[in-house]
Structure 1
Amino acid sequence: MKKIKLILPLIAFTLFSCDNYLDINESPNDPNASQVTPNLSISAVQTSSYSVLVRRMNELGNVFMNNWGANVNSFTGGYAEEFGITMSNNFYEDVWNSLYRNTYEYTNIINHPSADYDHHKAIAKIMKSFYFQYLVDMYGDIPYSQAHLGVNNVNPAYDDDQAIYQDLIVQLDSAIDMIDNAPANTVAVGGEDVMLGGNMDGWKRFANTLKLRILLRQSTKAETDATLATYLNTEFANLDLNFVNEDITINPGYSNASDVQQNPWMNLMQNLNEETITYRTAYNFRRASSYIAGRLNNTPPDPRRGRIFTLISGNVVGVNQGDSSAPSGTAPADMSKLGPGLVINSAQDGYVMLLAESLLLQAEAVERGFIPGDAQSLFDAAIVASMNQLGATPGTYVSDVNLVDGKGYAASVNKIQAIMYQKSIALNGINGLEVWIEYTRTGLINNIPMPLNSSSPTNQKPLRLMYPTSELASNSANVPAQSVNDVFTTGVFWK
Structure 2
Amino acid sequence: MIKLNRKEMKKIIIPIFAAAVLLGAGCKKEFFDINTSPNSPTEVSVTPQVLLPRTLHNVGLRVGTGFDYAADWTGYWSRSGSYGQSIELESYNITSTTLTAQWTNWYDILTDVNLMEKKAQASGLPFYQGVAKTMKAVGFMYLVDQYNNVPYSKAFDFVGNITPGYDKGEDIYADLFVQLDAAGKLFASVTTMDAATQASDIMFKGDLTLWRKFVNTMRLKLLIHESQVVSSATVTAVVAQITADGSGYLGAGQSALVNPGYVQVDTKQNPFYNTYKLSALGVKDTYNRANNYILKKYFGPDGHADNAVTPGTDDDLRYKAVFSVVDTKLAAFPSATYDYVGTNFGEVVPNSDPFRAVNQSDVAGPGLAKSPTQSQPVLTSVESLFLQAEAAQRGWITGTPQTLLTSAVRESFTYLGVPGGAGAADAYLALGIPIVDYTGAANKVNFIVMQKYLALIGLANFEAYVDYRRLGVPTDLPLSLNANRINNVIPLRLQYPQSEFNFNAANVAAQGTINPQTSAIFWDK
Is the shorter-chain TM-score for this pair beyond 0.5, marking a shared fold? yes
1:231 aligns to what?
234
1:409 to 438, 441, 444: 438
Map 1:163-202; keep pairs closer than 5 Å. Answer: 163-182=171-190, 189-202=197-210
Give the alignment partner of residue 322 of structure 1, picking from 346, 367, 384: 346
For 1:127, which of 97, 117, 135 is the aligned residue? 135
Query: What letter is aligned with 2:184?
Result: I
Shift of 1:474: 1.7
Deviation of 1:268 (Å)? 2.1
Is the CA contact (8 Å cut-off) linking 1:85 and 1:454 kept in structure 2? no
CA distance in 2, matches of 1:254, 1:260: 9
Distance 1:327 1:271, change over 3 A: closer
Out of 149-158 and 453-462, give the one that drifted further.
Answer: 453-462
State the secondary structure of the residue aligned to 2:124.
coil
Give the secondary-structure state (helix, strand or coil) at the position aligned to 2:78.
Answer: strand
How does 1:89-100 map onto structure 2 within 5 Å?
A: 89-100=96-107
Partner of 1:308: 322
Shift of 1:189: 2.9
TM-score (norm 1): 0.87
Q: Which residue of 39, 43, 49 corresponds with 1:33?
A: 43
Map 1:55-70 → 2, pairs under 5 A: 55-57=65-67, 59-70=68-79
Aligned match of 2:491: 462
Same amino acid, percent of matched pairs: 28
What pairs up with 1:18-417 in 2 under 5 angstroms? 18-20=12-14, 22-25=19-22, 32-57=42-67, 59-72=68-81, 74-77=82-85, 79-112=86-119, 114-182=122-190, 189-222=197-230, 228-240=231-243, 242-245=248-251, 246-256=254-264, 258-269=265-276, 270-273=278-281, 277-279=282-284, 283-299=285-301, 300-311=314-325, 313-314=336-337, 316-326=340-350, 334-338=359-363, 339-393=365-419, 394=421, 395-401=423-429, 403-417=432-446
8 Å contact 2:21–2:108 — kept in the other structure? yes
TM-score when scaled to structure 2?
Answer: 0.83
Residue 153 of structure 1, CA deviation = 1.4
Q: Deviations over 1:338-362 (max 9, x none)?
A: 2222233221110101101100111
When residues 150 and 422 of structure 1 are mapped into structure 2, their CA distance, relative to the original with a 3 A threshold, is: same
Alignment RMSD: 2.6
The answer to whether the Cα contact below 8 Å between 1:310 and 1:337 also exists between their aligned partners in 2 is yes
Residues 362 and 183 of structure 1, relative CA distance in 2, 3 Å threshold: closer
SS across alignment from 1:477: helix
Partners of 1:188 and 1:198 within 8 A in 2: no
How far apart, CA to CA, are the structure 1 residues paired with 2:377 and 2:10?
20
Please tell me whether the aligned partners of residues 324 and 330 of structure 1 are also in contact (alpha carbons under 8 angstroms). no
Distance 2:464 2:257 in 1: 19
The 3-state SS of whatever aligns with 2:462 is helix
Letter in 1 for 2:493: R
Gaps of 5+ in 1: 1-10, 223-227
Gap regions ≥5 residues in structure 2 = 24-39, 302-313, 327-335
**Is the 1:118–1:186 Cα contact (8 Å) retained in structure 2?**
no
Q: Tell me the SS of whatever aligns to 1:380.
A: helix
* 1:99–1:236 CA distance, 2 compared to 1 (3 A): same
